[in-house]
Structure 1
Amino acid sequence: MLTFDEVLHVGLTGLDSAVTDWSATINKLRELEETAENGLRNKADKADWAGENAGITKSFVKKTAKEFSDAAKVAESIRNVLRDALSEFKSAQKSLEDVIKTAPGKGIHIDAEGIVSYLVHPDRRSKSYDGPKPTEADFEAVRATIKAAIDKANEADEIASRALRTLVGKDKNNFSGTEYSGLKQAAKAQDAEDAKKAANIVKKGDDATPEEIDRLNKYFKDNKDDRYFAEQFAVRVGVKGGIEYWADLGDPSDGSRLGLDHAKKIKELQENWSMTLATASHSNSEDMTRWKSDMIKSGDEVFRTRGTSVYGFQVMSNLMRDGVYETKFLNDYGKSLFAAEQKMTRGNASNADLAWNPSFSTSHLNWDGKDLGRDPMNGFMEALGHNPKASTEFFNSKLDLTPENHDDNKNVSAFKYFTEERDWPEDNTKDGFSNKYGYDSLGHALESATIGNAYDTPAGEFKDVRTEDNAKVMQKVVNFYGSEPKYMHEQGIADSLSRMGSAYIDEFNRSLEQEDVSSEYAQPDSPFGAFKDGHSRFGEEYDNKLLFTRGDTVDFMGIVAQSKEGHAQMSAAQSIYTTSVMDAHGPNPGSQQLKDTDLTDLKTALRIGSETHGILDYSRMGQIDKDFEKDTEERAKAIAETTEWVKFGTGAAIAGGVVAVTGGFGAAAVLAPLAVETVGGGLSTYLGMETDDLAEQYEKDGRELMKEKSDKLSDEALLLGEANAQKPKEAYVQAPGWSQENRNFLEEELTKYIKDSRSHARDDILPDPYEKED
């Protein structure tokens, strides 16, 4: 793989000369070809050959004459490949040279390895600095330009090197006669060749060797995101070929041990196959349009192997768990899948368990180690989780209950059906027989639909792309999951709900500023909310209107915070957002003289932030009281963990107007919106602050802490939570630039104002803790 430095400094003179030399060679070979054609071949055809000469010499002369033609074709193909490669290398090199030249004017430095940083770091700027101040968007644009240039050069290098090897061929005595008009045609030929070889391995079914499965996986990896390869593979294997392959692979009754002994290889194959079909689905060629139609039509067809029977939908849904499938195909597929389930259950959603187990078999269709893949809705939800546009459209749609009758207007909200009405089938999972992973996938789809990013977006790639349509789904989420604690607890999707809640923390703060629990309108001149260019990003209707009432916000946040994940993630998001509001609406560090009237928005931000932390902390403590007996080690540990969210700063990634938090929360990142795109001094200080953590103290001194009564430990945790909720104020006051006089003034005014704000959370009627029914 070529590096930044290699692409930037590679010498192209030799390649340029090679193109010229091969052009000259083509002309000479064309002359020889004409001589061979008019001389050797024509004379051989006209000669009166007899005896051995007729059988041997004549064919030898003709073959020799043809070699001159093949040599000319190969030479021209080599020239074409080198010419296009040179053009791509020059273009990539110029892109790097241009971005290096213009970066300083934007306040950006690019080092010898292509790493992007500030030309003058904000911490080192003098008070009189008036140079460029790059935004995160500027950094992203420069990084994207560098990456695109390096990718272009590497792609050209890989295609050209493989094309040249093909042109030379393996036969030392014959020219290959291969013709390439350029890199594009060479790339297509390579894709078609790889797709054919991959499809031939698939034809062997579970008789393929482990080494052949490795080779199949390599074809997928080498052609990742290559639409032509993906389309060629999908069409060559065919809809039924792919379904039958996976159905047979999951049935060991024919004696095959491929899946039994090499489950990791099959897991990798499932992921790669899924991403390949996802790439192919974006093609609108005649072949792929037919493939997509046939796939949907085959969904309710039963495919039988030696020992099992499965529906086409069951197989295909397990090949949707990875990759971004095309939006229209996903929605068409989902509606047909729903219609099939309705038909099989006769409209009774509680019968979904029986519908998707036609033979009561144990066919193994999902190899990711979670469940066996019996319920096709699981894989479909995972696919929605990777395509925000499709998931948003789907959960804002109505599903036809009687698709065979277009005039009766019988339908159901897709959101209502999947969150409330459907009894998700249980399956054999790594954790026992349950429907845990079905609801988990539902949570992923809802994250995608509400946040507008794929649920597993890497932390540094998150952007605040929420739209009015995303917000409509979020309103449904808040209304439903905030109505009763049992839905979140019994479905087990607290992690997803907390990520959704964190992403809308700005609008929740806006709601909490309104004291009237049922008012639909915001306080005038509120410092909160998702505003862009002076208007709500959810439409001008919400410039003054609230997405959620105060009552709905308290109910939703209170229920989600009953879980460990919900309390931790939303607490972290709240502190991030509070600090960003202070940076956005408070006086800038370095302001000379501060007046109390300058602090209005700061006080509001701290008051609502402190109140929110109170809602979160008291909700979590109430659930701990319900879940654990007093004075037990489990209860003490749960209480101690309520302060653990303060560790989040170690995993914070800032980009695109959001902070994505990963520290302490597992693999998935938690998105918290910022009040401004650029990061101010308060937030920078906040992310680097040392924090107290009762959980860490518990790990060290657990035995001593256990000697204390639970009530005392609860009081300590709540006090520490209250202190942690004030960190945004401390960060703002400690930000570089303030005079000591202003620091003292801020500390006095802000502390005095917010000291009792947290107690207001006690005025809210919080949801009752969840209690599992016997």
Structure 2
Amino acid sequence: MALTFTDLVEVDLDKLGTAVSDWKKTVDSLKTSAENAHKGMQAKSDSAQWAGVNATVTRDFIAKTAKEVSDLHVEADSIYQVLADGHPELVSLQKQVKDAAGKDASALGVRVNDIGDGRVVCIFPHVRGDTDERTQEQLDAKRELENRINRLLSHAAEIDASVARALHKSHGDDAHNAGHSTYGSLNDAQAERALELARLGDKMSDAELQEFNRLMRFNDREKDGEFATEFYQGLGGPEKTLEFYAEMSIDGTSSDAGKVRLNAMKELQQNMGFALANATDPDTKQHLPGSWGSDFRRLGTQQIGWEQGQWNKPYGYQVLGGLLRYGNYDPRFLDPIAEHVTQLHKKDPYFFLNNKAPGQEDVYGFNPSGKLGSGNDPLNSVLEALGHSPEASEKFFTEPPTAYNEDGTVKGGSPGFESYLDLFTDEDFDWTVDTNDTNILAYEDKTKNALTFGPEALGHALESATTGRPYDDDSGDAVKHTEARAHLVSEIVNKFGENPELLRHNENGDLDDQESGPLYGMRDSLGDITAEYMGDFQRAMYKEDPNSDLFPTFSAAAGLDSGHAARFLSAVGEDPDAYAAITSAQQAYTAEVVDHVVNGGSDSTASLDGRLGDVVAPGSAIAGIMSDSRANAIYEYHAASDTEFNEAAADKQKWVNRILGMGIEKVGERIPIAGAPLEWASEDIQESIMKSIEKDTASEAEQEAGTKYTAGREAAIDSAQASLDNALVNNQHINSATADDLRRAVRTAAGVSHSDGAQWNSESDAK
């Protein structure tokens, strides 16, 4: 019977705490008894000169009694260790559930109902006279709370089941015989059970697979690495790990697996990936030996089989790649593997793909997630791994490459290229079609789509390397830019500023002679990188003095080239997601610098209106580039629509919060926007951004007539004035007449600079 919400909320865990204390006393007492039995009774028995029956019966009885006392101590200690670990975890989970169902639910105005089977639903109770209409934000918040409570209940149920199972095994089924399974911690018991299930392989039932996933999910990222390390050691080593995962992934993604099995395999892929990252981190208290990395490299080019007489066997890297796609891996483990895989791909791009099994649509093989390929090409997998591993990706792209032999050993010397950025951005680099779809060659659109998998994964890796965060960590705060990261951004901007055609996406547009570039799939990540380094890009627009503090960077400066930055923005801004990220960050950053000029204090003798015009100019120039790029994408390259550009802005709130967070770092305790709370400032700026993006449109007739920037220019002017209005809210030292003059100044500067940006972009397109 499943642990219910009511069970967890109402249970008196103080009694369990008392039991833990009692068992500790029992352990201590039995330890003393066991020591006395061995040092006293048995020692005397062993030294005595027995004769007759006593030499056998009595001596054996004493030895057996001493052993039973020792076994009782071991059993009691095992019970104590399991209870001692389980009790604080249950206490913590109980508190979290009570808080969520109490104050969190009350704040949302919802009621938490126990529906049994370890689940709850949250509902908005009807109030007389209420329409019962809810905003999407309210519905999303309700759903998040409901899911959070259900996850906590699931975790509590897993601990409850693990403790009960461990206690039963510690005690055994013989009431007259102590000494059965022993555990040094609850993790020991959980790892043992996970391994029992793993040994079933693809014979695991759906229920057993769900249990396995629960055990992995709630233990795979523990800080000390105990569970993850014990689990992988228990599997039997790197090769056995690959065999188990290969067997499970092929079974779970077969055409007759069913949706339940496939979904369970998607979770298994994530759970095992997170656990492997934890277990291979040399800095965790318990971790796998470093030889696991070299063994995986050795096995990478060897075929892995898991069935007797198996014909079609994948290479080790194809299997391992599925696990590497999840988890933040240490560079000492991941980078040698990523370098080895990349160099193998450079030597023969189809080495791994030549042995793939033919499949059918939606069969993903070693990558059950289905994201960016089937997993047959491990290059995509290691790039995704780097995308989740910021320290590893930074070192991968900023440190000199190491050459590897085919067996994964270090070769020494140069691998034949200066950097991985140079290698991947070479127009002749061979990206593969990583899919099991048997009809891929018959459908041009499918082929084009599959060819973007690698570049998208490359974008994720670069995003991780330059931001210091996993690329899909939307909730994370900004991480200060290191010299290495900032320099990498400069190299990226120079690379695509000089070769923007690499990013071009001409989707059956009017420019028939313009081929799509091989790397257009990574533009959304480049847009995120631009947003992250908005201070550097605004500095570059009008060549701001590197020593200026008017346009601050977030620690180390990238020192971008002005011309390269403009052409880079032009190419990247044609992607709706990149456009939205850049526009959001630009307006948030401009609001911050405008507020700094108005409210931050300055020793400058220049007029305030002139200084304000100067600080809105770079952002407006970027807005002009974005307007032109958006129009080009829609009307020249036919690669997107106005609707796509508008909808892409919906999830870019993170950039407003992140940029304002950078502002807080910059000025210490000052809250941005004239002392207003961050939440208010963020919401206000986001509203301005949405209006701006929705207004930044142009019709096909305007495009042909060369008047396509009118609405975009108006949007830039409105945005600049909104930034000033926000800064003026709590400033009592500027009278209304002066405020009008300042508004006029920022509107004029914004309009001129928007035209500058659009013109730069058009001139760049003409070249």
Both structures adopt the same fold (TM-score exceeding 0.5): yes
One-letter code of the match for 1:394? F
Q: 1:649 to 1:82 in 2, by over 3 A?
A: closer
Question: Per the alignment, do residues 448 and 28 of structure 1 end up closer, same or farther by CA in structure 2, a change over 3 Å counting?
Answer: closer
**Is it true that 1:476 corresponds to 2:495 in the alignment?**
no
For 1:438 and 1:712, how far apart are their aligned partners in 2?
Answer: 37
Match of 1:146 in 2: none
Over 3 Å counting, the alpha-carbon distance change for 1:622 and 1:744 in structure 2 is: farther
Give how far 1:323 is off.
0.5
Q: Residues 447 and 496 of structure 1 are in contact (CA less than 8 Å); yes or no, is this contact kept in structure 2?
A: yes
> How far 1:258 moved relative to its partner?
4.6
Aligned residue type for 2:239:
K
| Corresponding position of 1:361 | 357
Local SS of the residue matching 2:760 = coil
Q: How many Å separate the matches in 1 of 2:166 and 2:49?
A: 34
Partner residue, 1:426: 433
- Out of 509, 534, 545, the position equivalent to 2:538 is 509
Q: Which moved more, 1:716-725 or 1:236-245?
A: 716-725
2:478 and 2:579 mapped to 1: Cα distance? 23
Letter in 2 for 1:308: N
**Partners of 2:525 and 2:730 in 1: CA distance:** 37
Separation (CA, whole Å) in 2 of partners of 1:194 and 1:722: 61
Within 1, Cα distance between the matches of 2:52 and 2:278?
Answer: 59
Q: Deviations over 1:319-359 (max 9, x none)?
A: 1000111211111112222333344x3xxxxxx1x222233
- Quick one: which of 328, 334, 337 aligns to 2:338? 334
Distance in 2 between residues matched to 1:177 and 1:721, nearest whole Å: 77
Deviation at 1:442, TM superposition (A): 0.8
- 1:220 is the counterpart of 2:219: no
Deviations 1:201-250 (A, max 9, x none): 33xxx344333332332331232214222222223322222323444456
Q: Is the CA contact 1:576–1:674 (under 8 Å) kept in the aligned structure 2?
A: no
Partner of residue 748, structure 2 = 755
Identity %: 22
2:232 is matched with 234
Supply the distance in 1 between the matched residues of 2:248 and 2:159 (Cα, whole angstroms): 37
Aligned twin of 1:301: 302
- Deviation for aligned residue 1:485: 3.4
TM-aligned CA distance change 1:254 to 1:72, over 3 Å: closer
TM-score normalised by L of structure 2: 0.71
Q: Secondary structure at the match of 2:300?
A: coil
1:522 paired to 2:545: yes
Partner of 2:672: 680
- In structure 2, the residue matched to 1:654 is 657
Structure 1 residue aligned with 2:514: none
Q: String of CA shifts for 1:89-125, please: whole Å, max 9, x gaps.
A: 99x99xx9xxxxxxxxxxxxx999699x9xxxxxxxx
Determine if contact 2:17/2:87 at 8 Å carries over to the other structure. Answer: yes
Q: Is the 8 A contact 1:331 1:390 kept in 2?
A: yes
The residue identity in structure 2 corresponding to 1:300 is T
Match of 1:500 among 529, 543, 551: 529
For 1:438, which of 445, 448, 454 is the aligned residue? 454
Residue 199 of structure 1: how far off its partner (Å)? 3.9
Cα deviation per residue 1:629-659 (whole Å; 9 max; x = unaligned)? xxxxx99xx3476566776686667369637
Deviation at 1:259? 7.7
| Residue 412 of structure 1: aligned partner | 418
CA contact (8 A) 2:330 2:391 kept: no
For residue 80 of structure 1, report the CA deviation from its aligned partner: 6.7
Aligned residue for 1:482, secondary structure, equals helix
Q: After TM superposition, list the pairs within 5 Å mapping 1:95-494 onto structure 2.
A: 161=163, 165-166=167-168, 169-171=171-173, 173-174=175-176, 176-177=178-179, 185-187=184-186, 189-202=188-201, 206-226=202-222, 227-237=225-235, 238-249=237-248, 257-258=256-257, 262-283=261-282, 288-303=289-304, 306-343=310-347, 345=348, 352=349, 354-359=350-355, 361-362=357-358, 364-370=365-371, 371-399=373-401, 406=412, 410-420=416-426, 421-428=428-435, 432-433=446-447, 434-459=450-475, 461-488=476-503, 489=505, 490=517, 491=519, 492-494=521-523
What is the letter of the counterpart of residue 216 of structure 1?
F
Q: Is the alpha carbon distance of 1:769 and 1:235 closer, same or farther for their aligned partners in structure 2, counting shifts above 3 Å?
A: farther
Whole-angstrom CA distance in 1 between matches of 2:484 and 2:389: 14
> For the residues of structure 2 that align with 1:46 and 1:113, how far apart are their CA atoms?
73
Deviation at 1:456, TM superposition (A): 1.0
Paired with 2:174 and 2:263, the residues of 1 have a C-alpha distance of: 41
Write the letter of the residue equivalent to 1:314: Q
Shift of 1:34: 6.2
Report if aligned partners of 2:577, 2:648 keep a CA contact under 8 Å in 1: no
Q: Give the letter for the 1:425 counterpart.
A: T
- For 1:83 and 1:246, locate their aligned partners in 2 and report how far apart those are by CA, in whole Å: 33
SS, match of residue 234 in structure 2: helix
Following superposition, the deviation at residue 64 of structure 1 comes to 6.8
Instruction: Give the direction of change, closer, same or farther, for the CA distance of 1:728–1:201 in structure 2 (3 Å limit).
Output: farther
Contact 2:531/2:655 (8 A) holds in 1 = no
Question: 1:266-286: CA deviations, max 9, x gaps?
Answer: 222112121111111114879
Q: Which runs of 5+ in 1 are unaligned?
A: 97-109, 118-149, 346-351, 515-520, 532-536, 629-633, 660-671
Quote the offset at 1:173 in angstroms. 1.3
Report what 1:603 is aligned to: 613
Q: Give the corresponding residue for 1:99.
A: none
Given the superposition, is the C-alpha separation of residues 758 and 648 from structure 1 closer, same or farther in structure 2, using an over 3 Å criterion?
A: farther
What is the CA–CA distance in structure 2 between the aligned matches of 1:173 and 1:415, rounded to whole Å? 67
- Matched with 1:618 is 628
Distance 1:744 1:652, change over 3 A: farther
Q: Deviations over 1:120-164 (max 9, x none)?
A: xxxxxxxxxxxxxxxxxxxxxxxxxxxxxx9xx999997995698
| 1:747 counterpart SS class | helix
Superposed displacement of residue 494, structure 1: 1.7
Partner residue, 2:513: none
Looking at structure 2, the residues matched to 323 and 230 of structure 1 have their Cα atoms a distance apart, in angstroms, of 12
SS at match of 1:174: coil
Structure 2 counterpart of 1:717: 711
Q: CA deviation at 1:557?
A: 1.2
Report the residue type matching 1:451 in the other structure.
T
Q: Is the 8 A contact 1:384 1:391 kept in 2?
A: yes
Aligned residues: 655
Deviation at 1:447, TM superposition (A): 0.3
- Contact 1:624 / 1:639 at 8 angstroms: preserved in 2? yes
SS in 1 for 2:304: strand
Describe the shift of the 1:335–1:79 C-alpha distance in structure 2 as closer, same or farther (beyond 3 A): closer
Worse-superposed segment, 489-498 or 80-89: 80-89
Deviations 1:706-759 (A, max 9, x none): 9999869946632542344325434424523536x6354223223235414433
Tell whether the 8 Å contact from 1:510 to 1:526 is kept in structure 2 after alignment: no
Residue 563 of structure 2 is aligned to residue 551 of structure 1: yes
Q: Any conservation in 1 of the 2:86–2:186 contact (CA below 8 Å)?
A: no
| Kept in 1: contact 2:646–2:693 (CA 8 A) | yes
| Separation of aligned partners in 2, 1:737 and 1:215 | 60
Partner of 2:575: 563
After superposition, the C-alpha distances for 1:486-524 in whole angstroms (9 at most, x for unaligned) are 32233222211110111111011111132xxxxxx7266
- Gap regions ≥5 residues in structure 2: 108-151, 360-364, 438-444, 506-516
Q: 1:102 aligns to what?
A: none
User: Aligned pair in 2 of structure 1 residues 114, 157: CA closer, same or farther (>3 Å)?
Assistant: farther
Q: What's the secondary structure of 2:369's corresponding residue?
A: coil
Q: Structure 1 residues 156 and 563 mapped into 2: Cα distance closer, same or farther (>3 Å)? A: closer
SS in 1 for 2:220: coil
Shift of 1:674: 7.4
Q: How many Å separate the matches in 2 of 1:14 and 1:641?
A: 56
Partner of 1:738: 732
Deviation sequence 1:646-676 (CA, Å, 0-9, x none): 76686667369637xxxxxxxxxxxx99754
